[in-house]
Amino acid sequence: MIPGPVEFDPEVMRALGAKTASHVAPEFITVFGRALKRLREVCLAPSAQPFVVSGSGTLAMELAVANLVEPGERALVVNTGYFSDRMALLLTRYGAEVTQVRCAPGEAPDVAAVESALAGGRFKVMTVTHVDTSTGVLAPVEPLVRAAGRHGVLSVVDGVCATAGETFHQDAWGADVYLTASQKAIGVPPGLALLTVSPRAMAAWRARKTPVRSLYADLGEWLPIMEAYEAGRPSYFATPAVNLVCALDVSLGQILREGMEARFTRHRRMAKAFRAAWRALGLKTLPVSESVTAHTLSALYYPEGVDAGVIARVREQGVVLAGGLHPELKTRYFRVGHMNVVGPGDVLASVGAVERALVAAGHRSEPGVAVAAAQAELLRAG
């Protein structure tokens, strides 16, 4: 129950463990092409160009930055935590002049403050982390993306801890790049960087005055490959992660069979059950309000008198949690992932393990109160 890698469906794992085909075999070309089409559907981005590249979520971030920003151009980072800091670092490495709209850990920057910065900044791009894995903060992505559009600024949304779990409508909202990785709510083991890029962002890339500095991150190398596979033709730049792409195709198919709105609703329902349990235990969340709290993970302060040893106590009961990540707070909180295939049974098992571990660590609560609260919420939502 960490915020990635998550639990994976057995059918996805069977695809990962199947005999590896040639990357130019007709059967693989069909699978890859179908996965690209499905990625558009999952991101609700029918007009976008999808990219599936071997690498981590950080590579997905770098693909966006490397192709949209040239040295000396200005970028605005809406900063909600650790991975917003990483985006700022990437932009700086590629020569951008970076301005950040910051807030305290657990908060999200005010949309009006971001719009004010956009109005006076002459920015090329604005970046925002949909859900920051370090803090569990859910940014107000829709109004931020729409604000960027009003000011003619390209919007790049980091959806690594959000895609296929948090509500997102790329085309309808006007987001230019939605990037993610395979190992979270997309439901595939680590190793794939995924992007859907709008026609406006592709036009901006084509209008570059300087070459992309990284060969591997250059969309110019990858675009012919993506176009060829989607058209059913073999092509080559670098060998794809064949089995991971096959697993991706299976998982995207499962996601679409569930339906995007149904999937978003399920993630909200599981999150509400977890939150009811945390309230019953008297645990304080790192996000400062419900409106900025993610549905894909919980970030929770340790109660007084309890430290990180509680994570080991939970693990002894068969549930794996994550410690803190934000550098200012990492020893003060822990994280519980709840995305992809998580259902009511996972909620109750995890909550029970946390409750028992906290009691063993000296935290005082009424026996069974957290499980009862989660169960009541699940029954109400169901």
pLDDT (tens place) for every residue of the chain, 382 residues total = 999 999 999 999 999 999 999 999 999 999 999 999 999 999 999 999 999 999 999 999 999 999 999 999 999 999 999 999 999 999 999 999 999 999 999 999 999 999 999 998 899 999 999 999 999 999 999 999 999 999 999 999 999 999 999 999 999 999 999 999 999 999 999 999 999 999 999 999 999 999 999 999 999 999 999 999 999 999 999 999 999 999 999 999 999 999 999 999 999 999 999 999 999 999 999 999 999 999 999 999 999 999 999 999 999 999 999 999 999 999 999 999 999 999 999 999 999 999 999 999 999 999 999 999 999 999 996 6
Residue 309's pLDDT is what? 95
Residue 381's pLDDT is what? 63
Q: 260-381 architecture in CATH?
A: Alpha-Beta Complex (3.90)
The verdict on domain 10-258 having CATH code 3.20.20.450 is no
User: Can you tell me the distance from the alpha carbon of 313 to that of 343, in angstroms, rounded to the nearest whole number?
Assistant: 23
The number of residues in the chain equals 382
Residue 121's pLDDT is what? 84
Query: Domain extents for the chain?
Result: 10-258, 260-381
Do 253 and 49 contact (CB within 8 A), yes or no?
Answer: no
| Confidence (pTM) | 0.96
Burial tier of 246 (Cβ tally within 10 Å: 0-12, 13-18, 19+): buried
Nearest CA-CA partner of 29 in 238, 252, 230: 230
Nearest CA-CA partner of 81 in 377, 228, 299: 299
User: Can you tell me the distance from the alpha carbon of 137 to that of 154, in angstroms, rounded to the nearest whole number?
Assistant: 22
Residue 382's pLDDT is what? 60
Beta-sheet pairing, 333-337 with 297-301:
antiparallel
Nearest CA-CA partner of 165 in 297, 335, 319, 12: 297
Beta bridge partners of 158: 129, 179
Nearest CA-CA partner of 147 in 101, 97, 199, 106: 101
The 333-337 sheet, strands edge to edge: 297-301, 333-337, 322-323
